[in-house]
Amino acid sequence: MKKSTQNWIVAGFLVLLLVAGYFIVAKPDVGAVVDLDSILNSNTTEEQTSEPTVAVENLSAVVNADASVAVTFAVVASEGAEVQNVSVYYALNVADPANATYTAIQATNNNGTYTATIPATFGDVVYYYIEVVYLANNESKTFKTDVYSLTVKDTFEPVINSVSIDYNVTTTVDPITGDTITHYDFVITFNATDNDAIDQYIVYYADLGNTTDVSNVTFTPVSGRFNTISISAVDGNYYAFYFEVIDISNNTAMLFNETAPLILQANSTSTWPVTVSSESG
């Protein structure tokens, strides 16, 4: 073989080595093997989105003065979830809440706050849950909360609108001696109201004698289930009063108090009745 031919062969071989080395080190895109499985899996992962959902937040239940229960809450929908209907389901005084029959109330939406009012009476145990019907991926779905319970308690105090104090002087004749007996009485009449029912009217009084000092006196309570109470008096003496009303749930209201009572003199020549209100006490 001629020497020139050998040189060309060697040169060609070196060129092949250089090209092979370039592909090994640089790994250009040209002619590279494409891993389709890896790319497809990667794209699938990136395109996956979470399932549209809804949730109930800021749930509260408040007992109203008429014993109804106001349930308020917010419904939060993720992207792709469209709220169709929101209802509150309730049952009263059931033994098995998990298997009870519930009544539905349509919740009203006011700027994102949903409200439903459950009818009840004081002493009831209310069981309730919230149901949200929503559309996701063109499919109707339903979300339900857990079942909650609430005992309906009256926490509203009575209202003493006014108290009227009259002073009566009456006479009777002793059937044995024939003597005339004069009786002096305070007649106290309450004007009070309550969202449920009043249980007791109470008058606290103290005979102060000829003084108006109440710093060291003991008050005597006289109670009744009717709104008029009579208290015997000594004509000319001063008396201190304060008043209390208690409803059947043991909520109380007071007019005046032990340290700042109403002071009146038992005097038949004064103007009666005397009417006092919350503005007075």
Q: Could you tell me the CATH number of the domain that includes residue 118? A: 2.60.40.2060
pLDDT over 80 (residue 4):
no
Give the long-range contacts of residues 73-76, CB within 8 A, separation 24 or more. Answer: 73/113, 73/114, 73/130, 74/112, 74/113, 74/114, 75/114, 75/132
Q: Return mean pLDDT, the chain.
A: 89
Verify that 43 and 58 share a domain, yes or no: no
Q: Are the C-beta atoms of 156 and 62 separated by less than 8 Å?
A: no
Q: The domain containing residue 40 runs over which residues?
A: 3-47
How crowded is residue 231: how many other Cβ atoms within 10 Å of its Cβ? 18
Same structural domain, 123 and 176 = no
For residues 78 and 147, state if they share a domain: yes
73 has which bridge partners?
A: 114
Residues 63 and 125 both lie in one domain: yes
- Same domain for 88 and 26? no
| Residues listed for the chain | 281
* CATH number of the domain where residue 225 is located: 2.60.40.10
Instruction: Indicate the burial class of 177 (C-beta count within 10 angstroms; 0-12, 13-18, 19 or more).
Output: exposed
| Domain endpoint, select from 151, 183, 213 | 151
Say what percent of the chain tops pLDDT 90.
Answer: 80
Same domain for 181 and 204, yes or no, is yes
| Local structure of 47: helix, strand or coil | helix
* pLDDT of the residue at 204: 99
- Region of 19 please: left (phi>0), alpha (psi -120 to 50) or beta: alpha
Q: What is the pLDDT of residue 278?
A: 84
- pLDDT (average), residues 205-209: 98
What is d(CA 118, CA 71) in angstroms, rounded to the nearest whole number?
Answer: 8
Rounded Cα gap, residues 154 and 195, in angstroms: 9
Residue 69: exposure state from Cβ atoms within 10 A (0-12, 13-18, ≥19): buried
Same domain? 38 vs 107:
no
- pTM across the whole model: 0.75
CB contact set of 267 (below 8 Å; sequence gap of 6+): 167, 235, 236
User: What pLDDT, in 10s, does the model give residues 241-278?
Assistant: 999 999 999 999 999 999 999 999 999 999 999 999 98
Q: What are phi and psi of 272, to 5 degrees?
A: -130, 155
Are 20 and 94 part of one and the same domain? Answer: no
pLDDT on residue 9: 57
Boundary residue ending a domain (103, 124, 151): 151
The answer to whether residue 79 scores a pLDDT higher than 80 is: yes
In Å, how far are 176, 230, 235 from 185, measured between CA atoms?
Answer: 23, 6, 9
127: Cβ–Cβ under 8 A, 6 or more apart, which residues? Answer: 90, 91, 92, 94, 97, 100, 102, 147, 148, 149
- State whether 124 and 70 are in the same domain: yes
7 in the same domain as 105? no
Is residue 140 domain-shared with residue 84, that is, in the same domain? yes
Distance CA(156)–CA(67), nearest Å, equals: 10
- When divided into structural domains, the chain yields a total of 3
Statement to judge: residues 165 and 221 lie in one domain:
yes
The average pLDDT across 11-19 equals 54
Domain closes at, from 131, 151, 171: 151
Task: Inform me whether the pLDDT recorded for 83 exceeds 90.
Answer: yes
Q: Given this model, what pLDDT does residue 281 score?
A: 63
Q: What is the mean pLDDT of residues 27-49?
A: 46
> How many percent of the chain have pLDDT more than 70?
82
